[in-house]
Amino acid sequence: QSNVTIYGVVDAAMTRTTGGGYNQTAMDGRGILQGSRLGFRGTEDLGNGLKALFQLEQGLNVDTGTAPPGAPAGESWAFQRQAWVGLGGAWGTLGLGRQYAPGYATARFDILEGSGLYSARGWLTSVGGYTINPGSPARWSNSVRYMSPDLSGFSFEGIYSNYNNEDPARTRHPSGDDRWAMGFGYAKGPGEIGVVYHNVGVGAGVEDTREFFIGGSWDFGFLKAMATWQRKDAEVRSGDNRLWSVGVVVPVLTSSAFHLGYASLDVKGRDNDSNSLSTGFVHNLSKRTALYAILNRMHHDDLAPNLSGIEQPIQPGETASTWALGVRHKF
Amino acid sequence: QSNVTIYGVVDAAMTRTTGGGYNQTAMDGRGILQGSRLGFRGTEDLGNGLKALFQLEQGLNVDTGTAPPGAPAGESWAFQRQAWVGLGGAWGTLGLGRQYAPGYATARFDILEGSGLYSARGWLTSVGGYTINPGSPARWSNSVRYMSPDLSGFSFEGIYSNYNNEDPARTRHPSGDDRWAMGFGYAKGPGEIGVVYHNVGVGAGVEDTREFFIGGSWDFGFLKAMATWQRKDAEVRSGDNRLWSVGVVVPVLTSSAFHLGYASLDVKGRDNDSNSLSTGFVHNLSKRTALYAILNRMHHDDLAPNLSGIEQPIQPGETASTWALGVRHKF
Amino acid sequence: QSNVTIYGVVDAAMTRTTGGGYNQTAMDGRGILQGSRLGFRGTEDLGNGLKALFQLEQGLNVDTGTAPPGAPAGESWAFQRQAWVGLGGAWGTLGLGRQYAPGYATARFDILEGSGLYSARGWLTSVGGYTINPGSPARWSNSVRYMSPDLSGFSFEGIYSNYNNEDPARTRHPSGDDRWAMGFGYAKGPGEIGVVYHNVGVGAGVEDTREFFIGGSWDFGFLKAMATWQRKDAEVRSGDNRLWSVGVVVPVLTSSAFHLGYASLDVKGRDNDSNSLSTGFVHNLSKRTALYAILNRMHHDDLAPNLSGIEQPIQPGETASTWALGVRHKF
Look up the CATH superfamily of B5-330. Porin (2.40.160.10)
Interface of C with B in 107-136 (CB under 8 A): none
Q: B130-178 pLDDT, tens per residue?
A: 999 999 999 999 999 999 999 999 999 999 998 764 443 444 445 678 8
Helix, strand, coil content of chain B in percent (nearest 5):
10, 55, 35
| Domain ranges, ordered by start, for chain B | 5-330
Question: B214 pairs with which residues across the strands?
Answer: B195, B229
Chain-chain contact of B65 with C87 (C-beta, under 8 angstroms): no
A249 close to A111: Cβ distance less than 8 angstroms: yes
| Helix (H/G/I), strand (E/B), else coil: A60 | coil
Q: What mean pLDDT do residues C37-57 have?
A: 97
The partner residue sitting opposite B97, judged by closest CB among A12, A38, A331, is A12
Strands (E), B131-255: 139-147, 154-161, 179-188, 191-200, 209-219, 224-233, 241-252
SS3 B257: strand
State percent of chain C over pLDDT 70.
90
Beta bridge partners of C147: C93, C157
Residue C168's pLDDT band (cuts 50, 70, 90): very low
Chain C interface disruption, residue of A4, A159, A165, A167, most C CBs within 10 A:
A165
Residue A300's DSSP bridge partners are A274
Q: List the single residue in B6, B14, B63 with the smallest CB-CB distance to C1.
A: B6
Q: How confident is the model over C50-78, as pLDDT tens digits?
A: 999 999 999 999 999 999 998 888 889 99
At residue C174, the pLDDT reads 54
pLDDT score of C290 more than 60: yes
Contact B245, B216 (CB under 8 A): no
The helix (run of H) or strand (run of E) holding residue C297 is: strand C289-300
Instruction: Work out the minimum CA distance from B65 to partner chain C, whole angstroms.
Output: 5
CA dist., res. C259 & res. C243, Å (int): 19
What integer is the mean pLDDT of C209-224? 97
Contacts of C49 in chain B (CB under 8 A): none
Phi then psi dihedrals of residue C82, to 5 deg:
-150, 145
Alpha-carbon distance values, A116 to A18, A309, B173, B267, C104 (Å): 19, 9, 22, 50, 45
DSSP string, B258-315: EEEEEEEEEETTSS--EEEEEEEEEEESSSSEEEEEEEEEEEESSS-PBPSTT--B--
Question: Please, are residues A320 and A313 in contact by the beta-carbon 8 Å criterion?
Answer: no
C114-154 pLDDT, tens digit per residue, is: 998 899 999 899 888 999 999 999 999 999 999 999 999 99
The torsion angles phi and psi of A112, rounded to 5 degrees, stand at 55, 40
Chains with at least 3 CB pairs less than 8 angstroms from chain C: A, B
DSSP code of residue A307: P
> How far is A36 from A28, CA to CA, in rounded Å?
10
Q: What does the alpha-carbon distance between residue C246 and residue C226 come to, in Å, rounded to a whole number?
A: 6
Residue B62: which of C72, C84, C168 has the nearest Cβ?
A: C84
User: Chain A partners of B40 at a C-beta cutoff of 8 Å?
Assistant: 6, 8, 38
CA distance B79 to B92: 24
CA distance B144 to chain A (A): 9
Has residue C183 got a pLDDT over 90? Answer: yes
Residue B299: C-alpha distances to residues B128, B230, B265, B313, C245 (Å): 14, 19, 10, 12, 58
Identify the pLDDT of residue C133: 96
Q: Which residues, 6 or more positions from C177, have their beta carbon under 8 angstroms from its beta carbon?
A: C163, C164, C166, C201, C202, C203
Q: Quick check: A241 and A234 in contact, CB under 8 A?
A: no
Which of A151-155, C84-88, C179-183, C266-270 is predicted with the least confidence, judged by mean pLDDT?
A: C266-270
Q: Are A115 and A15 in contact (CB under 8 A)?
A: no
Residues of chain A with pLDDT under 70: 1-2, 20-22, 164-175, 302-316
What does the CA dihedral A95, A97, A102, A104 come to, rounded to 10 degrees? -130
- What's the rounded Cα separation, in Å, for the pair A175 and A179? 11
**How many Cα atoms are found within 13 Å in the side-chain-facing hemisphere of B235?**
9
Q: Please tell me which residue of chain A has the smallest CA distance to C64.
A: A141
> Nearest Cβ partner of B64 from C3, C72, C172?
C72
3-state secondary structure of C270: coil
Is A160:A142 a contact under the CB 8 Å cutoff?
no
* 8 Å CB contact of B327 and C78: no
Cβ–Cβ gap B329/C52 under 8 Å: yes
Residues C8 and C40: their CA atoms lie apart, in Å, by 9
The pair phi, psi for residue B113, each rounded to 5°, is 55, 25
What does the alpha-carbon distance between residue A152 and residue A134 come to, in Å, rounded to a whole number?
Answer: 26
Return all residues near B324 (Cβ < 8 A) that are at least 6 apart. Answer: B13, B14, B15, B28, B32, B118, B292, B293, B294, B295, B296, B309
Indicate yes or no: CB of C84 within 8 angstroms of CB of B285.
no
- Give the integer Cα–Cα distance in Å for A213 and A223: 23
β strands within chain A, DSSP E: 5-19, 22-28, 37-47, 50-59, 82-89, 92-100, 139-147, 154-161, 179-188, 191-200, 209-219, 224-233, 241-252, 256-267, 274-284, 289-300, 319-330
Query: Length of chain A in residues, anyone?
Result: 331
Q: How far is CA B48 from CA B45, B88, B89, B107, B288, in A?
A: 9, 11, 9, 35, 34
CB B322 within 8 A of CB B17: yes
Q: Are A242 and A212 in contact (CB under 8 A)?
A: no
Longest distance between any two alpha carbons in chain A, whole Å: 65
Residue C182 near residue C190 (C-beta atoms within 8 A): no
In order along chain B (331 residues), what is the average pLDDT of each group of 10 residues? 87 87 82 97 96 98 94 90 98 98 97 92 91 95 96 97 57 69 98 98 86 98 97 88 97 96 89 89 97 92 54 65 95 97
* B·C CB contacts under 8 A: 149
CB C131 within 8 A of CB C200: yes
Compute the distance between CA of residue C65 and CA of residue A78 in angstroms, rounded to an integer.
6
Candidates C146, C42, C156; CA nearest to C89 is C146
CB contact under 8 A, A44 and C13: no
Q: Which residues contact A220 (CB under 8 A, 6 or more apart)?
A: A190
Q: Which chains touch A (3 or more CB pairs under 8 A)?
A: B, C
Is residue A246 a contact partner of residue A254, using CB atoms and an 8 Å limit? Answer: no
Cα distance between residue B182 and residue B195, in whole Å: 8
Q: Which residue of A has its CA nearest to C331?
A: A3
Residue B325: is it exposed, middle or buried by C-beta count within 10 angstroms (0-12/13-18/19+)? middle
Q: Which amino acid is at A283?
A: H
Pick the CATH number of A17-28+91-330 from 3.10.50.40, 3.40.47.10, 3.30.70.270, 2.40.160.10: 2.40.160.10
CA distances from A25 to A312, B181, B287 (A): 12, 19, 44
